[in-house]
Structure 1
Amino acid sequence: MKPALPLAGLCAAFACAAAWPATPQITVAWRDKPPYHYMENGVAKGFLLERAREVFAAAGLPARFINEPQKRIWANFQHGSTNYCSISWYRLPEREALAQYSNPFHEDLPHTVLIAPGMVERVQAHATLEALLTDPTLTLGVIEGVSYGPVLDQMIRSGKNKLMSRTVETTQMMRMLTVGRASYMFVDREDWEFFRQKEPSAQKLVRYDLPNMPVGMRRHVVCSRDVPQETMNKLNQAIAATGGMLNPGHSKPGK
């Protein structure tokens, strides 16, 4: 009979392998924000969703991408969800208290203004952002739960416009603007271009660029506090390896 030692040694080796911790799967949440990330005919699409998949793959991190509303995403961070990340968020102090941030992987252009039908002359009578926001006769459409960047957020809070604040996605707010629910709204330029190409009602809206609009914000991957620093380092290395912080033209920096 052959000695049992080699078999025992083999079993021990398998036991050791089984004991090695596998990299846990990370849940990566994204909100509906076309053309950044969105569903179309049951298929998840969007240039920043594709970029995020590329980053997690390059980092060697198993990830399950899911679509969730923006308020639920931040409630999950607040309530301590584990192995949880989300993509495409601005860096704000109140959010840094709940989650940790990767290096930026995209930079927006400055916001633009969309004007409702029948309100063009009244809105365009204001040549500066400050003048526009201090007109008490105008109604500004604002999406709850999102940030327009710290500068614009503060200007909106201290402004004198009436506010129509709704928990809707950007596309829904633009539709509401087409029927005159507000006088105007702020929007990412890429959101507007996507809407303009897809929705016939967009022809009712007028885009208006102001010279002193704050610079575009940078977008990051955010992760729950339990995600190890090693994992965040892998994400940052993968962001750098796959093109760094992309500009709004979706090309590599400097191109």
Structure 2
Amino acid sequence: MKRQALLAGLCGVLLGSAAGAEPITVAWRDKPPYHYLENGEPKGFLLARARTVFETAGLPARFISEPQKRIWANFQHGATNYCSISWYRLPEREAVAQYSQPFHEDLPHTILIAPGMVERVKAHATLASLLTDPTLTLGVIEGVSYGPLLDPMIKASKNKVMSRTVETTQMMRMLTVGRASYMFVDREDWEFFRQKEQSGKTLLRHDLPDMPPGVRRYIVCSRDVSPATMNKLNQAIAATGGMNNPGHSKPGK
């Protein structure tokens, strides 16, 4: 009887420990309409999906908003039990974090043209040509990746580059007052801005035939997150629709 009581007590301790497991901290950056705060309330279609993925995986999670630089500093400095959502896959990031299966696939980037710059920008029939024009100023958000194909093209550009540590919405506002000639933007970001802010009506969206294809986004986690946990996340991503989300799929799909 004593042995049975001891075993029962041990099982109770183990179960209690599992039930009280520390939730994973899941960080997200401000990027409307993907994930953002509105009147202090967290919103966004990918934030909602991330919550569903962690719930489906049976993983307790504490969602917090943090700036992009802090998120990646946390990974670099060895944060534990820590994940973040909606990131491109890049070698420098893979060096400090592990990646889930694809979580979402963006549409190709588009460009926004500042007031008074439409003719000069549209004089270029291709992206390759546009990036060779030294009289144009390209607005770039510092510390943000535009994808593994577009990043090196921007780096090699002959445009003047106005690089600022701001959010996408702020860069679009800067474009409305002519701080740059044009900028690259995610289509969802632009649609959200255009509907929310009157100044968006002064900008022109323009597509170019040689823009790189849309880039996949992933959930990334610190190195200490176990393979079993990553497997649960991957299974939950698949179970909740993979990377193609209703309302955000490619044209024609």
Question: TM-score, normalization: structure 1?
Answer: 0.93
1:15-44 per-position Cα deviation (integer Å, ceiling 9, x unaligned): 332135524310000000000000001100
Runs (4 or more) in structure 1 with deviation over 4 Å come to none
Q: Give 1:86's match in structure 2, choosing from 84, 87, 91.
A: 84
2:58 and 2:178 map into 1 onto residues whose CA distance is 48
| Residue in 2 that maps onto 1:61 | 59
**Distance across 1 between alignment mates of 2:246 and 2:134:** 33
Q: Identify unmatched segments of 5+ residues in structure 2.
A: none
Letter paired with 1:14: G
Structure 1 position 70 matched with structure 2 position 65: no
Structure 1 residues 147, 248: closer, same or farther in 2, change over 3 A? farther
- How far residue 247 of structure 1 moved from its aligned partner, in angstroms, is 4.6
Q: Which residue of 2 aligns with 1:19?
A: 14
Pairing of 1:176-195 with structure 2 (within 5 A) = 176-195=174-193
Q: Distance in 2 between matches of 1:116 and 1:244?
A: 36
How far the C-alpha of 1:72 sits from its partner, in A, is 0.5
Alpha-carbon separation, structure 2, partners of 1:33 and 1:89? 11
> Is the 2:105–2:249 contact (alpha carbons within 8 Å) kept by the matching residues of 1?
no
2:53 and 2:236 in contact (8 A); partners too: yes
Aligned ranges 1:81-160 → 2 under 5 Å: 81-160=79-158
Partner amino acid for 1:88? S
- Share of identical aligned residues, percent? 79
Larger radius of gyration: 1
Which runs of 5 or more residues in structure 1 are unaligned? none
Residues 115 and 207 in structure 1, CA contact (< 8 A), matched pair in contact too = yes
Aligned length: 249
Correspondence for 1:201: 199
Deviation per CA, 1:184-237, whole angstroms, max 9, x where unpaired?
000000000000000000011011100110000001000000000000000000
Residue 205 to residue 248, structure 1, CA distance change in 2 (3 Å): farther
2:247 corresponds in structure 1 to: 249
Letter in 2 for 1:27: T
Q: Retained in 2: the 8 A contact 1:107–1:248?
A: no
Query: Root-mean-square deviation (CA), in Å?
Result: 1.7
Residues 111 and 189 in structure 1, CA contact (< 8 A), matched pair in contact too = yes
**Aligned equivalents of 1:171, 1:40: Cα separation in 2:** 14
Rounded to whole Å, the distance in 1 between the matches of 2:169 and 2:242 is 28
